[in-house]
Amino acid sequence: MSKTNRLQHLAIIMDGNGRWAKQQGKVRTEGHKMGAEVVRDITTYCAKHEMIETLTLYAFSTENWKRPKMEVAFLMKLLNNYLRNEIPTYMKLDTKFETIGDISAFSDKLKKTIAETKEITKNNKSLTQVLALNYGSRDEIIRAANRVIDAGDEMTEETLGAALDSPYTDIDLMIRTSGEQRLSNFLLWQLSYSEMFFTDTLWPDFSPAELEEIIGHYGNRERKFGGI
């Protein structure tokens, strides 16, 4: 992979759990369960990758509240259990856990689990796994702008960028599974010069092997960042 095509920050829109479940003749929640297993596999791969420093996963959007209440409740329980169960994996992989988005809407129980997971993993260094939770990019940008205004700072690219939920490096590579080819209000600021890949594979079928293949294609792309 060329020096220009560094891969420090990988972002993934994990799409297709419901369709996968339907194809399998199962209820949608089974797709979400399988999707959580894939999160572990992909995080493990990224933690061991020599270049990837940050993995941001679109887990629950601001629009996902529109789903049936039973499904939303299941997703909240699944997230809580996932974080509780994954702490040994985070520690084994030397992976730090972070979030972006407005988690104030979550239950006190879930907010406590999120805070505890962040605290336990805060000194891990091999990888930072960022879950986008109750996240929407427009909402993030509005909240960031209000932070700049409240601080009395001049509104510049630098001050606004620093006030975002995710002041990490810009996204180098963004992948969306399931065949849909849209960003769905995900990291609009950070994706300005990202390379994008769209795969027909549904998230529960996505594998480290396919990710490695996509990274290989990414390495052959010419990234110009607006230049010649």
| Phi and psi at residue 16, to the nearest 5° | 115, 5
173, containing H or E segment: strand 173-176
Domains of the chain: 9-220 (3.40.1180.10)
| Tokens encoding 36 | 């959580």
- Residuewise pLDDT in 10s, the chain (228 residues): 444 578 999 999 999 999 999 999 999 999 999 999 999 999 999 999 999 999 999 999 999 999 999 999 999 999 999 999 999 999 999 999 999 999 999 999 999 999 999 999 999 999 999 999 999 999 999 999 999 999 999 999 999 999 999 766 789 999 999 999 999 999 999 999 999 999 999 999 999 999 999 999 999 876 665 655
* Residue from 5, 64, 139, 205 carrying the catalytic annotation: 64
Residue 4: what pLDDT? Answer: 54
Number of helices (H) and strands (E) in the chain: give both, helices first.
Answer: 7, 6
DSSP string, 93-117: TTEEEEEES-GGGS-HHHHHHHHHH
Cα–Cα distance for residue pair 93/178, rounded to 1 Å:
28
For 48, residues 6+ apart whose C-beta sits below 8 A from its C-beta are 93, 126
- DSSP secondary structure letter of residue 171: P
For residues 66-90, b (16+ Cβ closer than 10 Å) or e, as one string? eeeeeeeebbbebbbebbeebeeeb
Determine whether 172 is an active site residue.
Answer: no
Is residue 200 among the annotated active site residues?
no
Predicted confidence at residue 149, as pLDDT, reads 97
Distance of CA 96 to the CA centre of its chain: 13
How far is C-alpha 206 from the chain's CA centre? Answer: 15
pLDDT number for residue 226: 60
pLDDT of residue 3: 47
Q: How far is CA 122 from CA 91, 95, 115, 153, 181, in A?
A: 10, 9, 10, 29, 34
For position 5, what pLDDT does the model report? 77
Closest CA to 42 of 208, 197, 177, 172: 208
Whether the Cβ atoms of residue 11 and residue 186 lie closer than 8 Å to each other: yes
